[in-house]
Structure 1
Amino acid sequence: MNAIDRVKKSRGINELAEQIEPLAQSMATLADEARQVMSQTQQASEA
């Protein structure tokens, strides 16, 4: 079952928050890593 299916089946705000929070944290981590890689790539291309 994927995250969207779990959200559709969730009951109430608290359960919905429990389903969304780990996904949001993962997305934030990926965004931070992407920014770091882009910065490193830009610095390497300028060197």
Structure 2
Amino acid sequence: MQDLDDLVKSDLTRLEKLTENFRWFNSHYENLKKEYTRQHVVVEG
């Protein structure tokens, strides 16, 4: 079983990755919107 420190580090790592993904999406949003007008797009991070 993981101890509390490991869980906190794991959650922090996931939160940092999620933040990076949102920043990437936000910085590319306008270009994606233009390139894929009226289409569904999946972005895997």
Provide the TM-score with structure 2 as the length reference: 0.60
Runs of 4 or more, structure 1, over 4 Å off, are: none
Bigger fraction of residues in helix: 1
- For structure 1, the 5+ residue unaligned runs are 4-18
Report which of the two structures shows the higher radius of gyration computed on alpha carbons.
1
**What SS does the corresponding residue of 2:6 show, helix, strand or coil?**
helix
- Number of aligned residues: 31
Match of 2:9 in 1: 25
- For structure 2, the 5+ residue unaligned runs are 32-45
Structure with the larger RCO, 1 or 2 (CA within 8 Å, 6+ apart): 2
Give the counterpart letter for 2:19 in structure 1: R
Q: In angstroms, what is the RMSD of aligned CA positions?
A: 1.5
The alpha-carbon deviation at position 46 of structure 1 amounts to 3.1
Work out the percentage of aligned pairs sharing the same amino acid. Answer: 13
